[in-house]
Amino acid sequence: MKVNHNYAQLEESYLFQTVNHKVAEYAKAHPERQIIRLGIGDVTQPLPAAITAAFIEGAKEQGKPDTFHGYGPEQGYDFLREKIARYYQNEIHAEVSAGDIFISDGAKSDVGNILDLFDKDNTVLIPDPVYPVYVDTNRMDGRRLVFLQANEENGFLPMPPEGQEADLIYLCSPNNPTGACYTYEQLTAWVQYAISQDAIILFDAAYESFVTENLPRSIFEIPGARGCAIEFCSLSKTAGFTGTRCGYTVVPQELCRDGMHLHAMWLRRQTTKFNGVSYPVQRAAAEVFTPEGMAGCRANLAIYQNNARIIAETLTKLGVWFVGGKNSPYLWLRCPGGLSSWAFFDELLEKTGIVGTPGSGFGACGEGYFRLTAFGSEANTKEAMKRLEEAYA
Ligand code: PLP
């Protein structure tokens, strides 16, 4: 027998392992020092009360003969898909119908699983630095990767490369790890490029709810995108579902390539390999899109957005170059003093007890940069910024 040797080509991810190891060493050496973690990409606020109430109600229904639900509908319950479609139409102003939407157990699985639809001989454009899942899932299949350099010159928002062919294009906006967010004009250029290449954009909108300025929250706000894009979205950051698990994927019903309907292919793939998200979770997810549920989510998002503002103000005051923080929970800064990402990690931890994430862990273009996140508490974020000012003023 043979195994998939592409797995041997995967780079080991030592990023968070090394971070944890270094933090443990520091804690041992400085037991008196309070360590502040501004490196995590997980939310910290609990689910809003209206959402947990719906979750509990859904679980109770499963215990009664007349309200029990077995296997759910293939694309997810209508009550949830219709609410998401209305959210797209009324809040985001994007042309998405319930029929386009597939409920998932989160964006990560679908971002990886969608590759079942595409040949291994495709050329894939991936920005660098990047959410590592795009790279590893393609390497597992042995696809050809072309990295798009994100840097200070392009504001960490790479544009279509001239003369480069592409079949699949990954875009994440607002971006993890950089927090940078594409404009309408920039995404229009990407849609036009994808159409010219007969390519598909795989658009990760996991952070759409952080957008406060007049910037796109969905690729489907861009004319022509229904003919060239698939979008992944998640309730993880919008509604605190990182541990509850629910997301949605939009595959326009008319989207075709190579003589095949991608929507029909994805339905076939999902009905063959996935049996849906649990009923109570879908009930909880539907509550996100009610006025009360959304108000609870907005209140939590406001805490993170305020933290991001506090960090941004401090970096500005210190004269540190950065992107993100405005329409994103991430801030991506140039390491002071020209330090490498890991050298700055060590220095920052030693001087201040603050833990961030070295940019080099997200790709070669991340070297010399550093990610801070706004997912901590307000008190910790303020204390961290006080220490940062003292150390770097
Ligand atoms: N996409 C991006 C860009 C992310 O940063 C994350 C999580 O950190 C995900 C997808 C995963 O989302 P989910 O929790 O829905 O699987």
Domain ranges of the chain: 13-42+293-392, 49-289
Per-residue tokens: 264 = 């029909």
Fill in the amino acid letter for 350.
E
Instruction: Give the Å distance between the CA of 68 and the centre of ligand 1.
Output: 31
If pLDDT is split at 50, 70 and 90, which confidence band does 5 have?
Answer: very high
State the pTM of this model: 0.97
Atom 5 of ligand 1: nearest residue by CA position: 176
Instruction: Give the Å distance between the CA of 205 and the centre of ligand 1.
Output: 9
- Ligand 1 atom nearest to 242, measured from its CA: 14
Using only C-alpha atoms, the chain has a radius of gyration, in whole angstroms, of 21
Taking the C-alpha atoms of residue 369 and residue 257, their distance in angstroms, rounded to an integer, is: 38
Q: pLDDT tens, 103-155?
A: 999 999 999 999 999 999 999 999 999 999 999 999 999 999 999 999 999 99
Atom 3 of ligand 1: nearest residue by CA position: 176
| 13-42+293-392 fold | Aspartate Aminotransferase, domain 1 (3.90.1150)
Report the pLDDT value the prediction gives residue 393, as an integer from 0 to 100.
86
Taking the C-alpha atoms of residue 360 and residue 103, their distance in angstroms, rounded to an integer, is: 33
Taking the C-alpha atoms of residue 366 and residue 127, their distance in angstroms, rounded to an integer, is: 11
Report the pLDDT value the prediction gives residue 204, as an integer from 0 to 100.
98
Instruction: Give the Å distance between the CA of 204 and the centre of ligand 1.
Output: 8
Q: pLDDT tens, 27-73?
A: 999 999 999 999 988 999 999 999 999 999 999 999 999 999 999 99
Whether 390 has a pLDDT exceeding 90, the answer reads yes
Contact 125, 164 (CB under 8 A): yes
129 lines ligand 1 (CB under 6 A): no
169 lines ligand 1 (CB under 6 A): no
Instruction: Give the Å distance between the CA of 43 and the centre of ligand 1.
Output: 11
Q: pLDDT tens, 174-213?
A: 999 999 999 999 999 999 999 999 999 999 999 999 999 9
131 lines ligand 1 (CB under 6 A): yes
If pLDDT is split at 50, 70 and 90, which confidence band does 9 have?
Answer: confident
- Angle, helices 341-352 vs 15-29, to 10°: value is 30
Higher pLDDT, residue 346 or 41 = 346
- Ligand 1 atom nearest to 106, measured from its CA: 15
Instruction: Name residue, tokens 């003369």.
Output: 163
For domain 49-289, which CATH number applies: 3.30.9.10, 3.40.50.300, 3.40.367.20, 3.40.640.10?
3.40.640.10
Atom 12 of ligand 1: nearest residue by CA position: 107
Half-sphere exposure of 41 (CA within 13 A, CB side): 15
